[in-house]
Amino acid sequence: AALSSGDELVLSGTRLQVQIESTPAPQAPPGTAAGLATLTGGESRERSSLRAFAHIARSLSGETDLPVLLRLVVDSAIQLLKAERGFLLLEDEDQRLQPRVARQHDQSDILAPGSRLSMGVARNVHERGRPVLSVDAGRDERFAGMPSVEDLRLRSVLCVPIRSEGKVQGVLYLDNRLQQGAFTEDDLDLAELFGDQASIALRNARQLFGLKDRNRQLEESRLHVARLNEQLGRKVRDRDAELSVVRAELSRSRGRYDYHEIVGASGVMQKLFQHLDRVVESDLPVLIQGESGTGKELIARAIHFNGRRKDKPFVSENCAALPDSLLESELFGHTRGAFTGADRAKKGLIEQAHGGTLFLDEIGDMSTEMQKKLLRVLQEGEVRPVGATMSVKVDVRLLAASHCNLEELVKDAKFREDLYYRIKVLQIDLPPLRERVEDIPLLAEALLARAAREAQRPAPLLTPEALTALTRCRWSGNVRELENEMRRLVVLCGDSQGADVVGVEALSASVVGGDGKGGVAGPLLKPGDDLREAVARFEKEAIVGALERLAGNKSKAAQELGISRFALQRKLVKYGLAEEEDLPLDAADAVGAEVGESDE
């Protein structure tokens, strides 16, 4: 049954009499001081007050909404100390005391609170930092000269400071206009204790409010940046925040294996990482196809060092870099005296890769004779060094790569069909950089940072305009060409003292203006330029750029530029990049004819 006034309770031998407050109170909503039963009789008032204080302290510590907490502080103080009214005054930005909450004992608000309390008493406590207790304010000499005390007909007044971090930042003001001696010295001690508890709760709520406000401001700033980026039509975000988000996203989406050396957040790269997860878990041969500079060897290393053979050798060879005679010796090894100059036996790369992985780059450039010998190794699982009579058993996983379409080479009878199907049990097609434009800012930042570390210089900072120019370039040389551009920027723009800011003007002409295949369409003519001069400048820069990217390989440069090697040789002479006597007679005549035509 519910307790009623006059009921008695016996707890641990102590007789307690219950009295319910006679003043009716409305149903207390959340965040307000709930009615408390006052225990008298066998329990002292001090004990009763401490019980009530403990209950109120829990309520204060559990409230984090600042406006609600301010009301709860005043309502709780009124109830705890049996006051008629309560006021909470806090400093404003100018450290002036301002009423924040004013409440009646029935938890109703007091209108115009500044004129309903003695501001003189409140300021006195605020300035001196000492509490004030008056049992009869009208006759208290300390309040002489304070018209508000007499005007408000105050009787009992209790005012304590609210401290935070050792400084008085407000006061709690309680009064009773009807009763003298409503507050005692014990009430003063309890009020000070309550003020300290309220100060802690207010500080915590303010800190939480400040944190929420900062989070709100950060969110508004983020949305503002997003709107600006949307207006620019670019997905380049704040560099540090973008990289942090992308790294976190990559760590979640790349699957089970570590591909940290491969930079890419685009959809096509995410699919590649997922495909790599399946390839890594296998021991089958893999054919990696992609344009020059797309990172075929990087993919091969990722497959090896994430697979079950990662603790075994990884051996690689570029089949296009060696003639057949040397390539056979490199791959298969040789015995002593096998040929002129073979003064000692040499273990071949295939045998060196035993238990591990053999990576053959540009396998499409291998001669048909070498293809036949490699096929025998794959079929029989053994290798015979040049000059040897016995074969050696080998266990290798073959990873092959080519920038050519091997299927087309098979159709043209330039690549053995049986070898083709041996090496392409699994296939990985690497996308060119122009098909994953959204990765270019990330790649540029990563390559720029690496080039700066190698050069022991601060990394230059790319402006948004420079990043935009990089994303517009077609990058026929793919990641390798982008890497060379970043190395160039480190050398030309960085210094040992501090990082430079790199704008569009620092980028290569082939990146900004366009090189036909590798760049984007841009303004070729400058004010006052002659059309023929602009075309010549454009063509020369394209040729120089292609040769730089491809390490002077004229055949590959001609292929990239979409012209024949013979046409490239003529243009090299035309622009002073080669000597005319280096060409055959008919080529020299053609150069002269072309130069003559261009002068018309």
CATH number, domain containing residue 539: 1.10.10
Q: Is residue 540 part of a domain?
A: yes
Q: Is residue 14 part of a domain?
A: no
Same domain for 168 and 33: yes
pLDDT at 9: 47
Q: Is residue 21 part of a domain?
A: no
Same domain for 61 and 179: yes
Give residue 542's domain range.
523-600
User: CA separation (Å) from 541 to 492, 504, 512, 537, 577?
Assistant: 18, 17, 12, 6, 11
* Chain center to CA of 221: 16
pLDDT at 25: 40
Same domain for 417 and 546: no
Q: What is the DSSP string of 153-169?
A: T--EEEEEEEEETTEEE
Same domain for 427 and 307: yes
pLDDT at 151: 86
Same domain for 193 and 70: yes
Same domain for 54 and 196: yes
Same domain for 164 and 62: yes
Q: Is residue 481 part of a domain?
A: no
Q: What DSSP element (H or E) covers 462? A: strand 461-462
pLDDT at 598: 40
Q: Is residue 498 part of a domain?
A: no
Q: Worst-scoring range by mean pLDDT, 71-85, 399-413, 544-558?
A: 544-558
- 229-249 pLDDT per residue, tens: 777 766 655 666 776 766 665
- 298-317 pLDDT per residue, tens: 999 999 999 999 999 999 99
**Domain boundary residue, one of 161, 190, 208:** 208
**What is d(CA 464, CA 449) in angstroms, rounded to the nearest whole number?**
17
Q: Is residue 464 part of a domain?
A: no
User: CA separation (Å) from 356 to 119, 178, 414, 505?
Assistant: 87, 96, 29, 47
* pLDDT band for position 590 (cuts 50, 70, 90): very low
pLDDT at 99: 93
Residue whose C-alpha is closest to residue 293's, from 472, 407, 434:
434
Q: Is the pLDDT of residue 287 over 80?
A: yes
**87: CATH:** 3.30.450.40
Q: Residue 352 CB: number of other CB atoms within 10 A?
A: 16
Same domain for 52 and 197: yes
**363: CATH:** 3.40.50.300
Same domain for 202 and 81: yes
pLDDT at 208: 85
**Domain boundary residue, one of 159, 182, 208:** 208
Q: Is the pLDDT of residue 143 over 90?
A: no
pLDDT at 580: 62
pLDDT at 176: 93
Cβ burial of 426 (10 Å; 0-12, 13-18, 19+) is: middle
> How many independent structural domains does the chain possess?
3
**Domain boundary residue, one of 381, 414, 431:** 431
Same domain for 201 and 292: no
Q: Is the pLDDT of residue 561 over 70?
A: yes
pLDDT at 396: 95
| Mean pLDDT, all residues of the chain | 81
Q: Worst-scoring range by mean pLDDT, 68-72, 94-98, 417-421, 489-493?
A: 489-493
Q: Is the pLDDT of residue 346 over 80?
A: yes
Sorted by sequence, the CB contacts under 8 Å of residue 234 that are 6+ apart come out as 464, 467, 468, 471
Same domain for 195 and 333: no
More confident position, 544 or 498: 544
Q: Is the pLDDT of residue 387 over 80?
A: yes
Give phi and psi for 338, each to the nearest 5. Answer: -65, -30
Percentage of residues of the chain with pLDDT beyond 70? 79
pLDDT at 457: 87
Residue whose C-alpha is closest to residue 131's, from 72, 67, 178, 81:
81
Residue whose C-alpha is closest to residue 49's, from 59, 41, 38, 60:
38
Question: Which whole number is the average pLDDT over 58-64?
Answer: 78
- 473-519 pLDDT per residue, tens: 989 999 999 999 999 998 887 555 555 788 888 898 888 865 434 44
Q: Is the pLDDT of residue 433 over 90?
A: yes
Same domain for 290 and 183: no
- 183-238 pLDDT per residue, tens: 999 899 989 999 888 888 888 888 888 888 888 898 888 888 888 877 776 665 56
Q: Is residue 502 part of a domain?
A: no
Q: What is the DSSP string of 557-594?
A: HHHHHTS-HHHHHHHHHHTTSS-GGGS-HHHHHHHHHH
Question: What pTM value is reported for the model?
Answer: 0.47
Burial 449-467 (b: 16+ CB within 10 A, else e): eebbeeeebbbbebeeebb
Q: Is residue 412 part of a domain?
A: yes
What's the number of CA atoms in the CB half-sphere (13 Å) around residue 30?
A: 4
- Tokens for 553? 């390989």
User: CA separation (Å) from 342 to 319, 331, 398, 508?
Assistant: 21, 15, 27, 48
Q: β-strands 392-393, 382-383: how paired?
A: antiparallel
pLDDT at 524: 43
**What is d(CA 164, CA 583) in angstroms, rounded to the nearest whole number?**
89
- Tokens for 295? 């990172």
**What is d(CA 463, CA 459) in angstroms, rounded to the nearest whole number?**
13
* pLDDT band for position 30 (cuts 50, 70, 90): very low
- 262-276 pLDDT per residue, tens: 888 888 998 999 999
